[in-house]
Amino acid sequence: AQSVTQPDIHITVSEGASLELRCNYSYGATPYLFWYVQSPGQGLQLLLKYFSGDTLVQGIKGFEAEFKRSQSSFNLRKPSVHWSDAAEYFCAVAQGQKVTFGIGTKLQVIP
Amino acid sequence: NAGVMQNPRHLVRRRGQEARLRCSPMKGHSHVYWYRQLPEEGLKFMVYLQKENIIDESGMPKERFSAEFPKEGPSILRIQQVVRGDSAAYFCASSERQGFGNEQFFGPGTRLTVL
């Protein structure tokens, strides 16, 4: 069965600093990987997704993620964080129509 | 084009009552998914439906929970005889097509509180 691990439950970064959110997955076949963002009281919004091809994928809001098969990782990065990026971020893997989500990482941005 | 609509946004029920959660997919989407988010946890898949059909309900509790997506009208997630452990946020998502990579668009969720 597939699983997703987000080892960091809370992360605090200063505005303007770089960000990396970790995600590790367990899946037998080629994974279909996603990052979603959830603002308080809102639904999830897709940031980016990886299916095949270039292992560095670009998403919305200046985010990118790199797929590393050898490490079973799909870490999310942003070179310079803005206060509006404060939210909860979920990594997910798809198997058919069923998407398995990680527990989420809450990002706090301080001035 | 309106996004995925869910209502009510907040629902309070007493133990033993029934909860009915509604989801209207995006226009043109015929695939609907329900997820549950317990406090401090990620989303857990519950059920995948197409019009008038349940495709995958492997994440649904065996008792008290049911879902439908009729030919006309919204998808309904029904919880009978609610218990405190049912308190959670329930999210609906929809997609245009089946298969890998078809983005699921999420609604704002219904937050159920069981007293």
User: pLDDT tens digits, residue range B25-75?
Assistant: 999 899 999 999 987 778 899 999 998 899 999 999 999 999 999 999 999
Residue B17 pLDDT exceeds 70 = yes
Percent of chain B with pLDDT over 90: 70
Do the Cβ atoms of A103 and B98 come within 8 Å?
no
Q: Nearest chain B residue to A10 by CA: give it.
A: B40
Residue A97 pLDDT exceeds 90 = no
Do the Cβ atoms of A51 and B100 come within 8 Å?
yes
| Three-state secondary structure string covering A32-87 | EEEEEEECCCCCEEEEEEECCCCCEEECHHHCEEEEEHHHCEEEEEECCCCHHHCE
- The A residues from 92 to 111 touching B (CB cutoff 8 Å) are 94, 96-104
Q: What does the alpha-carbon distance between residue B54 and residue B32 come to, in Å, rounded to a whole number?
A: 10
Residue B75 pLDDT? 97
Residue B42 pLDDT? 80
Do the Cβ atoms of B108 and A46 come within 8 Å?
no
pLDDT band at A99 (very low <50, low <70, confident <90, very high): confident
- The A residues from 59 to 88 touching B (CB cutoff 8 Å) are none
Q: How many residues does chain A have?
A: 111
Task: Taking residues A77-95, report their average pLDDT.
Answer: 94
Residue A96 pLDDT exceeds 90 = no
Query: Considering chain B, what is the average pLDDT of its residues?
Result: 91
Task: Taking residues A60-66, report their average pLDDT.
Answer: 96
Q: What does the alpha-carbon distance between residue B52 and residue A82 come to, in Å, rounded to a whole number?
A: 44
